[in-house]
Amino acid sequence: MSKFKFCTSFLLILFIFGCGQNPFTGKSTLALVPNSQIIPMSFQQYNQVLEESKVIKEGDQAQMIQRVGLKIANASERWLIENGYPNYTDDYKWEFNLIDDDQVNAWAMPGGKVAFYTGILPIAENEAGVAAIMGHEVAHALANHGQQRMSAGQIQQTVGAVGTIALGNQDQQTQELFTTAYGIGSQIGVMLPFSRNHETEADKIGIKLMAIAGYNPDEAAKLWKRMKESSGGAGPPQFLSTHPSNDERINNLQNWSAEAKAEAAKFGVTSFQN
């Protein structure tokens, strides 16, 4: 078997057997790297970030981050159990920390490790705003977006290697042109849209989780209006960005709010905290 045929066969095997399922969407997902490998690495990296950062352990803000995080995590557990996934988060160890840093940022790592930066709190404005951010970040962890991105990166590298092998008999200039074109094309045409889809997916899952946790999902769109104002509307063109545009995000969240309230009602939640 030629190297080219071997690589394409190997790639096909990856696609066939390297799949999982997102319980919130029912969609098949890339899962070439198992969570049994990813989650321990995630915990280690998270602890390293905490060691290198100024973590706020006491005070109203730190308590709020803990409170909101646990409510969102509990809401996700309720949803998963109700929908037939009682053991989905057995390997998760939820942790929510507030880091003293001016970055307007929050993030989650596989396995339920979440960090908030103090710089985002003024834009969050209230506890429901924090819940909108928290729901989004928890959704990333639950939907295994980290696993999917790592898996997509592996496929991107493999496809690039297959192309290089296929052009092995071509002159060096042709090979270099392919490498450059493939790198740009796969990033803009595949990897960035893949990442934007994850952001949109996390928004849609997150707004439901915040509603089930008792927070007003109307606040999610308001949060992103404040995000847009804080950035002055600046940002790269959407096709060059890892995130959807602010306006698209706001419109989506406004449209999904009623659906989130209906989902929360299934769990007996009919009044919401702003």
Strand blocks (E) in the chain = 19-21, 28-30, 55-56, 95-99, 106-109, 113-117
Distance CA 259, CA 256 (A): 5
End-to-end CA distance of the chain: 63
Q: Residue 59 carries which DSSP code?
A: S
Q: Which of 95, 137, 199, 201 is catalytic?
A: 137
Q: How far apart are CA 87 and CA 81, in angstroms?
A: 8
Q: Is 5 helix (H, G, I), strand (E, B) or coil?
A: helix
Residue pointed to by tokens 């070439």: 32
Q: 136: which residues sit within 8 A by CB, 6+ positions away?
A: 202, 203, 206
User: Is 137 annotated as catalytic?
Assistant: yes
Would you put residue 96 in left (φ > 0), alpha (ψ -120 to 50) or beta?
A: beta
Number of CB atoms found within 10 A of residue 4's CB: 15
Residue pair 84/24 in contact (Cβ under 8 Å)? The answer is no
For residue 238, give both structure tokens.
């959407």
Active-site residue numbers?
137
